[in-house]
Amino acid sequence: MTELTTESAPKKRILSMYQCTGVFTLGNFLGAIRNHVGFQDEYECIYALADLHAITVRQDPKKFRKYILESYAYLLAMGIDLEKTILFIQSQVPEHAQLSWILNCYTQFGELSRMTQFKDKSQKHADNVNAGLFTYPCLMAADILLYQADFVPVGADQKQHVELARNVAERFNGLYSPTFPVPQPLIPKHGARVMSLQDPSKKMSKSDENLNGTITMADDPDTILRKFKRAVTDSESQVRYAPGKDGVNNLMEIYASLTGKTMEEIEREFEGKGYGDFKPAVAQVVIDALVPIQKRFKELMEDPEYLEKCYTENAQKAHYLAQKTLSKVMKKIGYLPAKLH
Ligand code: TYM
């Protein structure tokens, strides 16, 4: 065997986060988490639960605490490997809130006003259009920039926020000196926008009132099959990827994303068959993916001490990296260093 004498180039760094306001959906899994699991060998990965972002919408404290722990366990069950990756809880690393305030002062009101998620959410929660909802992208920029991330893999709905983080990074670097790498969004080819099974013009979401539109990671096989059988399609009954066939296109995207097949291969597989064959086939690949995750999730939830040890150690690792960036930023702005210890 040849001995490895040359040092390999440092791995590029990836950062991504997930809100924990309920059980993860198939959209979170296909658009984000499953791909993030796949990055762990090639990149240095840092992932986290965005529980500070989550309170831009009111949360019931009891349910919220449960969702945070369960979401952490789900991420491990889906394949986040703590031997390779840092997985922490955002609220346990205070630098996120600190850098977020600073970046608020380097982001323009006009930039934030253009964010489509703000427009959508402020319509949906018209009784609680709080300032946090408006400045949410500054916190997200802080999440990304604190860890000097090169890439930010996200579903298509988060692209605009990553672009704002790029603008803020460039602005700060230009005003002072190079401080942050300018992060690039990574959007998957299939599954980047998984739509509601009941209304394929809307993205699949945890907060959808129509439960039949969303597959959650906790759904049992019968529920998954039932939801797919009821999925809205069209009157054509031909499995074909085409404009105007949003419901079928969405099912094909889900199928493609889980089987690795192209749209042409799927069309050939179901040639001469109708939606009556196609829908259960999509349900089956989803069931096959979710059942082992649910089993592992159950095992993890039976060991809360292990989970606590994991998130505590990982918050410490994240804090170590985050405070290095934050102190660099504060020094550049002109703050005096605090000596608290
Ligand atoms: P969140 O919690 O809404 O979603 C987590 C990830 O899942 C993706 N996603 C989807 N992808 C495809 N189809 C869908 N229906 C679907 N629904 C969700 C999202 O694009 C995301 O990648 N603001 C972020 C969380 C966040 C973050 C960050 C992300 C906070 N700080 C820093 C990246 C970097 C959010 O609300 O994602």
Q: Please check whether residues 142 and 58 belong to one and the same domain.
A: yes
pLDDT at 4 exceeding the cut of 90: no
Q: What is the pLDDT of residue 2?
A: 40
* Band (70; pLDDT cuts 50, 70, 90): very high
Task: Give a yes or no: residue 254 inside a domain.
Answer: yes
**HSE value, Cβ hemisphere, 13 Å, CA-based, for 277:** 11
Catalytic residue among 159, 206, 261, 332: 206
- Number of the ligand 1 atom closest to the C-alpha atom of 15: 34
CA distance 249 to 239: 9
Q: Where are the beta strands (DSSP E) in 43-172?
A: 44-49, 86-89, 151-153
| Residue ranges making up the domain that contains 258 | 211-300
Q: Please check whether residues 45 and 136 belong to one and the same domain.
A: yes
The CATH number linked to 229 is 1.10.240.10
Q: Please check whether residues 311 and 251 belong to one and the same domain.
A: no
> Any idea what DSSP says for residue 158?
G
**Domain tally for the chain?**
2
- Number of the ligand 1 atom closest to the C-alpha atom of 191: 12
Residue entry with tokens 């300018």: 182
Q: 17 alpha carbon to ligand 1 midpoint, in Å? A: 7
Task: Give a yes or no: residue 237 inside a domain.
Answer: yes
Output Rg (C-alpha) for the chain, integer angstroms.
Answer: 21
Task: Give a yes or no: residue 264 inside a domain.
Answer: yes
Other CB atoms within 10 Å distance of the CB of residue 341: 3
Q: What is the pLDDT of residue 207?
A: 87
Total residue length of the chain = 341
pLDDT at 6 exceeding the cut of 80: no
16 touches 152 (CB < 8 A): yes
* Catalytic site includes residue 203: yes
Q: Please check whether residues 310 and 294 belong to one and the same domain.
A: no
5 touches 36 (CB < 8 A): no
Residue from 141, 154, 20 nearest 88 by CA: 20
The string of pLDDT tens digits covering residues 112-127 is 999 999 999 999 889 9
210 touches 198 (CB < 8 A): yes
Residue from 277, 272, 278, 221 nearest 249 by CA: 278
Q: Which amino acid is at 129?
A: V
Task: Give a yes or no: residue 187 inside a domain.
Answer: yes
Q: What is the pLDDT of residue 9?
A: 81
Q: What is the pLDDT of residue 7?
A: 61
Task: Give a yes or no: residue 8 inside a domain.
Answer: no
Q: What is the pLDDT of residue 1?
A: 41
- Pocket around ligand 1: residues whose beta carbon is below 6 Å from it? 15-19, 27-28, 31-32, 50, 53, 140, 143-144, 152, 154-155, 157-158, 161, 191-194, 203-204
Q: Helices H, strands E: what count in the chain? A: 13, 5
The string of pLDDT tens digits covering residues 15-61 is 999 999 999 999 999 999 999 999 999 999 999 999 999 999 999 99
Q: Please check whether residues 130 and 153 belong to one and the same domain.
A: yes
The string of pLDDT tens digits covering residues 166-224 is 999 999 999 999 999 999 999 998 889 999 999 999 999 998 889 999 999 999 999 99
Q: 155 alpha carbon to ligand 1 midpoint, in Å? A: 6
Q: Round the average pLDDT of the chain to a whole number and report it.
A: 95
List the single range of 3-17, 210-224, 225-239, 298-312 with lowest mean pLDDT: 3-17
The string of pLDDT tens digits covering residues 245-292 is 999 999 999 999 999 999 999 999 999 999 999 999 999 999 999 999
Q: Please check whether residues 43 and 167 belong to one and the same domain.
A: yes
The proportion of the chain whose per-residue pLDDT surpasses 90, expressed as a percent, equals 92
Q: 273 alpha carbon to ligand 1 midpoint, in Å? A: 35
CA distance 283 to 223: 10
Q: Please check whether residues 152 and 62 belong to one and the same domain.
A: yes
Straight-line distance from the first to the last Cα atom of the chain, in angstroms, rounded to the nearest whole number: 50
State mean pLDDT over 304-330. Answer: 98
Q: Please check whether residues 240 and 258 belong to one and the same domain.
A: yes
Q: Please check whether residues 35 and 183 belong to one and the same domain.
A: yes
Task: Give a yes or no: residue 202 inside a domain.
Answer: no
Catalytic residue among 62, 63, 66, 121: 121
For 148: left if phi > 0, alpha if psi spans -120 to 50, otherwise beta; the answer is: left
* Band (3; pLDDT cuts 50, 70, 90): very low
Residue of 20, 23, 26, 28 with the most ligand 1 atoms within 8 Å of its CB, for mutation: 28
Q: 74 alpha carbon to ligand 1 midpoint, in Å? A: 15
Q: Please check whether residues 233 and 167 belong to one and the same domain.
A: no
CA distance 272 to 305: 54
